[in-house]
Amino acid sequence: MLLVIDVGNTNTTVGVFDGPRLIHQWRLMSERHTADEVGIYLLNLLRTVDLAVDAIDGAILASVVPPLDAALTEGIDRYLGVSCLKVSSALDLGISIGYGAPQEVGADRLVDAVAGVARYGSPLVIVDFGTAITLNVIDSGPVYLGGAIAPGLMTSMEALFGRTAKLPKVGLEAPSSVIGRTTIESIQAGILYGNAGLVDSLVRRIWKELGRVTPVIATGGLASAVAVHSETIEAVDPWLTLEGLRLIYERNGACRR
């Protein structure tokens, strides 16, 4: 079985694949830990689903938080007994990278692109709702072209509440009207409908530059909250990043137990 880990600025997503099938997944907070803490954490996760350590025969990591990487890879090696492959633009991804500086592309964006092409073909636009909202554009080829990055929903909300004394914190629920009749409804309308409009505007500009309309797929922990209000997103694939990690691991023949 394969352990896959996607480390974001806010959340770390962990999954276990049995062949092509994702059988377990967890969303955790991204926090600094020692290698021993990482190992114990992972052992406890596996115990919660009655999965033996020796069942894990490979591991792969995509991270946009470099200070966390060493402890993760060391903990996996020490406690699970497998080497952990780290995603970078230097690996065989099965797609070309048309970005100006390939090494600057976030590992999560590359992983999304690999899985997106495998599942939906190209050209394609993938919108990932995480700490940031990233739009990733893959052209025919397939070629990863780049995209756009905007503040994520929670990032925007934290900035709003942190700089305004009287605004209350709210849940991510859509009000019945974009014209909020209370302060809470007004904030919810601005965050949810506003971000749906932001994505739609960027997608339409991307389509115009590409000269064609493409499928648009959403992923990430908050994808469902926004996608239902979007006019361009046609599907939500919450575990797309984990699938991309599996595909990259298989292409690169990482060392097994």
Residue-wise pLDDT tens digits, 101-160: 898 999 999 999 999 999 999 999 999 998 899 999 999 999 999 999 999 887 777 777
Same domain for 82 and 128? no
CA 132, 13, 102: angle at the middle one, nearest 5? 55
Enclosing domain of residue 25: 2-86
Residues 55, 100 within the same domain = no
- Quote the pLDDT of residue 216: 98
Q: What is the dihedral of CA 170, 197, 195, 146, to 10 degrees?
A: 170
Q: Is residue 255 a part of any domain in this protein?
A: no
pLDDT of 169 reads: 65
Residue 115 lies in a domain: no
User: Which of the residues in the chain have pLDDT under 70?
Assistant: 162-169, 254-257
pTM equals: 0.90
Does residue 82 sit in the same domain as residue 129?
no
One domain, residues 19 and 129:
no
Choosing from 6, 50, 108, 139, the catalytic residue is 108
For residue 147, is it within any domain? yes
Are both 77 and 102 inside the same structural domain?
no
CATH code for the domain in which residue 152 is found: 3.30.420.40
Amino acid residing at 109: R
The rounded radius of gyration (Å) of the Cα atoms in the chain is: 19
Asked if residue 56 is part of any domain, the answer here is yes
Q: How many domains does the chain have?
A: 2
**Known catalytic residue: 69?**
no
Assess whether 23 and 56 both reside in one domain.
yes
Q: Quick one: 103 and 209 in the same domain?
A: yes
Q: What is the pLDDT of residue 221?
A: 85
